[in-house]
A and B are shown apart, each in its own frame.
Chain A
């Protein structure tokens, strides 16, 4: 038996197919196809949670994704656990474990309920006026307490072991929603020959047909017709039908994102299946058939377990076969709720009364109620309810005052009418228009190629909705070029034509009251909170929303927006269209992060770029660091060495003997053409005409505003051919910068640019023995000092393969950079290593590279510069040609601020205590005893222990630095102040003689 409240013969589930699950430790039987909500209701369980702020007992309010109350923790195991799951959406699978949230020690007895008693202190916006005194109490007391108390669910702590998939889809017509209107539109479009994707968030198509039992299409019960139509569509080769799939976001140019739930309803899903699948759909046309969502009535104590939307009561009965109570009341301002009473009565459930706040209910439903013997109290309102963990009675009074009567009920179905679901339309940047007659927002002006049909477009009458949808489907199909084909005709009949609907507070919850009449259940926002916000001076709907948090929970105001708006408009004494709506944002309902991320996590988050010598480096114990997407050998620790020891050894070895360094990651651009030199003259500050083939020069590139953008050695291979190098991180943006000017500013120049960063492996051999190491391997190039001086480049062979050999140095030692085609990189490295190792040379990494260049005062763009440093600031003004008529940056450099006295300039810093190593980024002041805030002169840009100098060294940007040589400055740190002396940036071999070895 799957629950005492299951009515035999009602519902569409199969009694024999059961599933077992637990809720708060207790075991229950469900039927396959049940949601957690329907299964619990079948077993008489109405209390599912405690509200966010007041910890009031809460139950199931709806039967769909708009559910604000019944949020549960659902798990398969400790890792596959999800909090805040809507019980009305989650299907039961065998073995599921469900826990309630936000209560201690238990749902039935929750200590947090004291908040309800203290509620005057927790009115809307209370935190803007509290938790401020004493100031010190915030960190130790208030914040930890608030953090523990905040939120509903508890986040899982284990990594998500599930995998998620993602795919793109293109179609002619995307139809969102497979209710009557959506199915009709899809049918028309498909029969017209268009490629159609039809998507619906529920496990089965049908939408409102799940509950609307009085409706037929082509003579068939609506729901049955829907299933048959979906099968017919799915069988067509040009149609794809996706269920359990929510269209959660409408983006630019008819790009719509769908989240398909693949395994969440399965007991033992195949591990090969993704848990969810993201569909990124580009549709030529979109038809929105998203229906409407019922809203609740706003009256005192309208939130007790057992109070739910009328259509939800019908869904639980007609689809799941579950009676939500034994003595059910109805409180409504709309005709549709009457049909809930009719269905229950006919199923043998007692209906206490229909309380209709309208003086004149619809004539048809009134007549039917009388025929069924159901009492209707029109012109009456429910002004209170009773029952702590479940509703036990409703208090009813005639509108405008009058004797109140208590009517016993164990469930109360409410309806204030239906709100068209315009979320996706609004996300598409369409403009809404307000229909005053029925007090609702409808699609107005479209921004994209789409149409809305059915209830979401305000077309409530069944046949009108069908006609509208068929026409839209065919129109959209033809617009995409579909040939047209079989016309579709459908005929629908509803049991009743509905009238009515209201928004705002009902009797007993008006402006003169201070009762708890809930608008937003998930955030515990009451009607009086909206009025409080207005009194506090919040006059825009955006401010009212944020002050009260109305509509900000995971249900995103699906039930509360219109009520909040109406109450605000009344308080502001302004018409509703003038108050306006807050923005509808993606996603429509919550989306799992895994679905968005898909496979892009862990090792697949970012591509890892490796050099041709990576394998050798790994095999020789290198530790790697990330430089952008590159993996670069950082240092090579030998047995027992820590990082400092390894780096110190590498630094010593390079200057005494030699070292091998992988410089392959540096950007390389081949600049070729008759105008190559002219082009480089425009892009760099240097004059390139004077650079002869076979020679190299250090180039500085500035932006148009005069600041250093990149640097690198440029070698001239021929009159019309340059080998340009850039920083590792700057390679893509320098090439982009060059292409920008070439294509759009200087398109007349005959030059073309090719990225060769990955085409050349670069092996730097640096140190006194560098020539000795490579000479035996090199052919075709005279390496003697006179023939091949510092800053030369030549083509030849090394180990039998082509090489561009540069004599350049970033260490200040005799040095070469061996460029070979990348595929030969590792082999040539090994051959060079075979020469180098016996001589006592070592391999060195990026850390040593940084230290050695700093010892020589060579800057690193992006470390010693930060986009606000000019060539002169950085001490490389010599690289800026004074003769050129134009280059990028020529005018920017002449701006007053870039030419003034006192600019920050790069200098060296020597700590008075040579063993102290400054922290990069540390601030520098002249007077350490000045009051705060101190005048800061600049900061430390690079700082290292220099084994070769036997002391620490540093570079820093200091205001007026060049004029402060020898001055003592101070670096205040949290624990001490460090005294430093301003010095030259070159700490070793000031004459540079070692370069000419």
Chain B
């Protein structure tokens, strides 16, 4: 069970209090009625599925109810940083504070070293 730091409550709380809300920093065009089919497809459907750092949204639904953003490593589930909605995407380098990114189990099996 994940521990997530709510930047509004300024506390680490268990995953049970939160609800995932998809990728962060997906901008909705201010003139969305005029964008092309390709632009709409990219906005609404297309998402990266990174092995490594992802920037995503969470909502503290059983707490303060606010939406906020998080930088999380999708392999180790380590939360590198959480920050308030509206704040800019932080400039983070792929390597988090501790040891090198952990391989997935599939890779583990292929090259346990």
User: Residues of A at under 8 Å CB distance from B?
Assistant: 251-253, 255, 280, 282, 429-434, 441, 444-447, 540-542, 577-578, 580-583, 704-705, 736, 739-740, 743-745, 747, 885-886, 890-892, 894-896
From the candidates A445, A745, A747, name the one contacting B99 in the complex (CB within 8 A).
A445
Whether A891 touches B32, Cβ cut-off 8 Å, given contacts A253-B3, A429-B102, A577-B111, is yes
Assembly CA distance A187 to B29 (angstroms): 60
Assembly CA distance A736 to B58 (angstroms): 12
17 A-B contact pairs sorted by A residue (CB < 8 Å):
A251-B1, A255-B1, A429-B102, A431-B108, A432-B112, A445-B99, A445-B100, A446-B99, A447-B98, A447-B102, A577-B112, A581-B112, A582-B109, A583-B109, A736-B19, A744-B85, A892-B40
User: Residues of B at under 8 Å CB distance from A?
Assistant: 1-3, 14-15, 19, 21, 28, 31-33, 35, 37, 40, 44, 57, 59, 61, 65-67, 75-78, 85-86, 98-100, 102-103, 105, 108-113
Assembly CA distance A582 to B111 (angstroms): 11
Q: Tell whether, in the assembled complex, residue A578 and residue B110 are in contact, meaning their CB atoms are under 8 Å apart.
A: yes
For the complex formed, measure the closest distance between the CB of B96 and the CB atoms of chain A, giving whole angstroms.
10
Assembly CA distance A541 to B105 (angstroms): 12
Whether A704 touches B85, Cβ cut-off 8 Å, given contacts A255-B1, A577-B112, is no
Residue of B nearest to A745 (CB): B28
Whether A704 touches B109, Cβ cut-off 8 Å, given contacts A255-B1, A745-B28, A747-B86, is no
Q: Tell whether, in the assembled complex, residue A580 and residue B44 are in contact, meaning their CB atoms are under 8 Å apart.
A: no
Assembly CA distance A581 to B98 (angstroms): 24
Q: Tell whether, in the assembled complex, residue A253 and residue B67 are in contact, meaning their CB atoms are under 8 Å apart.
A: no
Q: List the 10 shortest-distance A-B pairs measured between CB atoms, nearest first.
A: A580-B109, A253-B3, A583-B105, A447-B102, A445-B99, A743-B67, A447-B76, A255-B1, A891-B32, A580-B112
Q: Tell whether, in the assembled complex, residue B109 and residue A253 are in contact, meaning their CB atoms are under 8 Å apart.
A: no
Assembly CA distance A705 to B46 (angstroms): 13
Whether A431 touches B102, Cβ cut-off 8 Å, given contacts A252-B2, A255-B1, A581-B109, is yes
Q: Tell whether, in the assembled complex, residue A891 and residue B33 are in contact, meaning their CB atoms are under 8 Å apart.
A: yes
* A431-B102, A433-B112 given; 18 more Cβ-contact pairs under 8 Å: A253-B1, A255-B3, A280-B1, A430-B102, A433-B113, A441-B112, A444-B113, A540-B110, A577-B113, A578-B110, A578-B111, A580-B111, A744-B85, A745-B28, A886-B32, A890-B32, A894-B33, A895-B40
Q: Tell whether, in the assembled complex, residue A736 and residue B113 are in contact, meaning their CB atoms are under 8 Å apart.
A: no
From the candidates A577, A736, A891, name the one contacting B40 in the complex (CB within 8 A).
A891
Q: Tell whether, in the assembled complex, residue B109 and residue A895 are in contact, meaning their CB atoms are under 8 Å apart.
A: no
Residues of chain B within 8 A of A444, CB atoms compared:
113
For the complex formed, measure the closest distance between the CB of A251 and the CB atoms of chain B, giving whole angstroms.
6
Residues of chain A within 8 A of B67, CB atoms compared:
739-740, 743-744
From the candidates B40, B75, B77, B86, name the one contacting A253 in the complex (CB within 8 A).
B77
Assembly CA distance A632 to B109 (angstroms): 52
Interface centre among B59, B66, B99, B112 (most CB of A within 10 A): B112
For the complex formed, measure the closest distance between the CB of B53 and the CB atoms of chain A, giving whole angstroms.
15
From the candidates B2, B65, B86, B109, name the one contacting A739 in the complex (CB within 8 A).
B65
Residues of chain B within 8 A of A578, CB atoms compared:
110-111
Residues of chain B within 8 A of A447, CB atoms compared:
76, 78, 98-99, 102
Residues of chain A within 8 A of B86, CB atoms compared:
744, 747
Assembly CA distance A446 to B97 (angstroms): 12
Residues of chain B within 8 A of A704, CB atoms compared:
28, 44
Whether A886 touches B1, Cβ cut-off 8 Å, given contacts A441-B112, A446-B99, A540-B109, is no
For the complex formed, measure the closest distance between the CB of A420 and the CB atoms of chain B, giving whole angstroms.
14
Majority SS at the chain A contact face: mixed
Residue of A nearest to B1 (CB): A255
Residues of chain A within 8 A of B75, CB atoms compared:
429
Residues of chain B within 8 A of A445, CB atoms compared:
99-100, 102
Residues of chain B within 8 A of A434, CB atoms compared:
112-113
From the candidates B61, B98, B105, name the one contacting A446 in the complex (CB within 8 A).
B98
Interface centre among B15, B59, B85, B109 (most CB of A within 10 A): B109
Whether A743 touches B85, Cβ cut-off 8 Å, given contacts A445-B100, A583-B105, is yes
Assembly CA distance A922 to B61 (angstroms): 39
Assembly CA distance A464 to B106 (angstroms): 34
Residue of B nearest to A430 (CB): B102
For the complex formed, measure the closest distance between the CB of B71 and the CB atoms of chain A, giving whole angstroms.
15
Residues of chain B within 8 A of A745, CB atoms compared:
28
Residues of chain A within 8 A of B35, CB atoms compared:
891
Assembly CA distance A704 to B28 (angstroms): 10
Assembly CA distance A890 to B33 (angstroms): 6
Assembly CA distance A578 to B15 (angstroms): 36
Assembly CA distance A744 to B103 (angstroms): 34
Residues of chain A within 8 A of B98, CB atoms compared:
446-447
For the complex formed, measure the closest distance between the CB of A692 and the CB atoms of chain B, giving whole angstroms.
27
Residues of chain A within 8 A of B105, CB atoms compared:
583
Residue of B nearest to A704 (CB): B44
Assembly CA distance A433 to B99 (angstroms): 14
Residues of chain B within 8 A of A583, CB atoms compared:
105, 108-109
For the complex formed, measure the closest distance between the CB of A867 and the CB atoms of chain B, giving whole angstroms.
14
For the complex formed, measure the closest distance between the CB of A707 and the CB atoms of chain B, giving whole angstroms.
11
Residue of A nearest to B28 (CB): A745
Residues of chain A within 8 A of B99, CB atoms compared:
445-447
Q: Tell whether, in the assembled complex, residue B37 and residue A895 are in contact, meaning their CB atoms are under 8 Å apart.
A: yes
Residues of chain A within 8 A of B59, CB atoms compared:
736, 739-740
Residue of A nearest to B45 (CB): A705
Residue of A nearest to B77 (CB): A252
Assembly CA distance A890 to B105 (angstroms): 43
Assembly CA distance A433 to B112 (angstroms): 6
Residues of chain A within 8 A of B113, CB atoms compared:
433-434, 444, 577
For the complex formed, measure the closest distance between the CB of B3 and the CB atoms of chain A, giving whole angstroms.
4
Residues of chain A within 8 A of B85, CB atoms compared:
743-744, 747
For the complex formed, measure the closest distance between the CB of B70 and the CB atoms of chain A, giving whole angstroms.
13
Assembly CA distance A744 to B58 (angstroms): 11
Whether A743 touches B112, Cβ cut-off 8 Å, given contacts A429-B102, A892-B44, is no
Residue of B nearest to A441 (CB): B112
Residue of A nearest to B30 (CB): A886
Assembly CA distance A429 to B96 (angstroms): 15
For the complex formed, measure the closest distance between the CB of B16 and the CB atoms of chain A, giving whole angstroms.
11
Q: Tell whether, in the assembled complex, residue B33 and residue A886 are in contact, meaning their CB atoms are under 8 Å apart.
A: yes
Q: Tell whether, in the assembled complex, residue B66 and residue A743 are in contact, meaning their CB atoms are under 8 Å apart.
A: yes
Q: Tell whether, in the assembled complex, residue A581 and residue B108 are in contact, meaning their CB atoms are under 8 Å apart.
A: yes
Assembly CA distance A891 to B19 (angstroms): 27
Residues of chain B within 8 A of A892, CB atoms compared:
40, 44
From the candidates A736, A886, A890, name the one contacting B61 in the complex (CB within 8 A).
A736
Residue of B nearest to A889 (CB): B32
From the candidates A282, A446, A890, A895, name the one contacting B3 in the complex (CB within 8 A).
A282
Whether A253 touches B112, Cβ cut-off 8 Å, given contacts A445-B99, A704-B44, A744-B85, is no
Residues of chain A within 8 A of B32, CB atoms compared:
886, 890-891
Assembly CA distance A581 to B28 (angstroms): 45
Interface centre among A433, A542, A580, A747 (most CB of B within 10 A): A580
Interface centre among A252, A745, A894 (most CB of B within 10 A): A252
Residues of chain A within 8 A of B108, CB atoms compared:
431-432, 580-581, 583
Residues of chain B within 8 A of A540, CB atoms compared:
109-110
Residues of chain B within 8 A of A253, CB atoms compared:
1-3, 77
Whether A541 touches B33, Cβ cut-off 8 Å, given contacts A429-B102, A891-B40, A892-B44, is no
Residue of B nearest to A542 (CB): B109
Assembly CA distance A704 to B102 (angstroms): 36
Residues of chain B within 8 A of A255, CB atoms compared:
1, 3
Interface centre among A704, A705, A740, A744 (most CB of B within 10 A): A744
For the complex formed, measure the closest distance between the CB of A606 and the CB atoms of chain B, giving whole angstroms.
16
Interface centre among B14, B33, B98 (most CB of A within 10 A): B33
Assembly CA distance A880 to B42 (angstroms): 25
Residues of chain B within 8 A of A430, CB atoms compared:
102
For the complex formed, measure the closest distance between the CB of A515 and the CB atoms of chain B, giving whole angstroms.
29
Assembly CA distance A446 to B109 (angstroms): 17
Q: Tell whether, in the assembled complex, residue A429 and residue B77 are in contact, meaning their CB atoms are under 8 Å apart.
A: yes
Residues of chain B within 8 A of A886, CB atoms compared:
31-33
Residues of chain A within 8 A of B109, CB atoms compared:
540-542, 580-583
